[in-house]
Amino acid sequence: MTIGKLERVPLRDLWKHEERGFSAWLSDNLDQLADAVGFSIAEPEKEVGAGDFECDIVAEDEDGHRVIIENQLEATDHDHLGKLITYLTNLDAKRAIWICKTPRPEHTTALAWLNETTPEDVAFYLVKLEAFRIGSSAPAPLFTAIVAPSAESKQFGQEKKNLAERHQLRIKFWEGLLARAKHNGVLSHSGRSPSKDFWLSATAGKAGFGYVYTIWKTEESGVELYIDVGDQALNKTYFDRLLANRGDIEGAFGGPLDWERLDTKKGARIRHIMKTGGLADGEAAWPAIQGAMIAAMEKLVNATKPYIQKIEQQG
């Protein structure tokens, strides 16, 4: 048995020009590209205008949607990335295929990001083009999809979008709470900036002790004193010392508190949960939620701070 050696062939040996050479050949051989991207491509048109620019090839997929194909027999560059997006949007296409000799990492990342962030029916493909021969055989092109869309990438992109929207809502909520607290003279968090997190903490005047506002998406909000001085045993000791004064602390607070020693975790906390609503209730409901949180925080600070200040002297 004779086994041949696979030899790489420079693309410019096959096609001297992208438009007159490669694009013309590809228009007659779209089945080879289709095998790489996983869907059929037909009815090609070359040099289709998009304003002052011309797309290399515009074709159709099996559903009759436009597919734009941009060819580059060199390494990817920003110019062609811009063209790809321009053609897709101006020609009302659903799929964009960028064929290149060498996909640069930054452009690979860019197309993967586009697949995550664009609508579900829009898809971007980055296809690497190589050519090989065995012995004296005719050279053969090889298309390899480097970037392609997937249901997972679209879902991940939607999750990131939802997370970003949630972050913006939280920042807006905390902005309102901080402004309202300052107006009401509750200054425990006056040095803090709005956060994208579902909590907002500030020091309780002793290292490792913090007062924390918490807002959930639905139904609940809360205030708490969280203890984490960096040592689990000492955290539990400090918690126990506060717990020994539970009656007085809850009396000053004006009601029961949740005492959570959290034995399997490093920290410990004392908190109060309110059922006044959550972030998703809408901005019209936020003032009432913020007002309840601020009032509860003021009571928690007043009830616990005297005991925090002398906690190291307690037995």
Q: What is the pLDDT of residue 139?
A: 92
pLDDT at 155: 76
The amino acid at residue 220 is E
Q: Which helix (H) or strand (E) holds 298?
A: helix 286-309
Residues 227 and 130 in one domain: no
pLDDT at residue number 164: 78
Q: What is the pLDDT of residue 157?
A: 64
Tell me what pLDDT residue 284 has: 95
Instruction: Report the number of distinct structural domains present in the chain.
Output: 2
Contact 142, 131 (CB under 8 A): yes
- CATH number, domain containing residue 299: 3.30.1460
Say whether both 95 and 212 belong to one domain: no
Verify that 112 and 204 share a domain, yes or no.
no
pLDDT for res 68? 93
In whole angstroms, give the CA distance from residue 110 to residue 197: 27
pLDDT at 76: 96
pLDDT value of residue 315: 53
Quick one: which H or E segment has residue 81?
helix 78-90
Supply the CATH number for residue 14's domain: 3.40.1350.10
- Give the pair of three-digit tokens for residue 278: 């959550």
Contact 220, 274 (CB under 8 A): yes
**Domain membership flag for residue 18:** yes
Query: For position 101, what pLDDT does the model report?
Result: 95
> What pLDDT score was predicted for residue 120?
84
- Partners of 46 in the beta sheet? 57
Q: What three-state secondary structure class fits 146?
A: strand
- 145 and 36 in a single domain? The answer is yes
Q: Are residues 307 and 190 in the same domain?
A: yes
- 87/120 same-domain check: yes
Same domain, 113 and 170: no
Domain C-terminal end among 95, 120, 149: 149
CA trace torsion 36, 144, 134, 131 (10° rounding): 110
End residue of a domain, out of 100, 116, 149: 149
- The answer to whether residues 223 and 271 touch, using CB atoms and an 8 Å cutoff, is yes
| pLDDT value at residue 313 | 63
Mean per-residue pLDDT pooled into runs of 10, the chain (315 residues):
85 88 92 94 81 86 92 94 92 94 96 89 95 91 92 70 82 96 94 93 94 94 97 96 96 97 96 94 95 97 94 67
> Which of 122, 149, 176 corresponds to the end of one domain?
149
Residues in contact with 280: Cβ distance below 8 Å, sequence separation at least 6, in sequence order: 217, 218
Question: By residue range, what is the domain housing residue 23?
Answer: 6-149
| Listed residue (198, 192, 193) closest to 215, CA to CA | 198
Q: Are residues 177 and 141 in the same domain?
A: no
Other CB atoms within 10 A of residue 44 CB: 18
Q: Quick check: helix, strand or coil at residue 248?
A: helix
Beta-bridge mates of residue 45 = 58
Q: How far apart are CA 111 and CA 231, in angstroms?
A: 46
Close Cβ partners of 271 (under 8 Å, ≥ 6 residues apart): 212, 214, 222, 223, 224, 225, 257, 258, 260
Residue 222 lies in a domain: yes
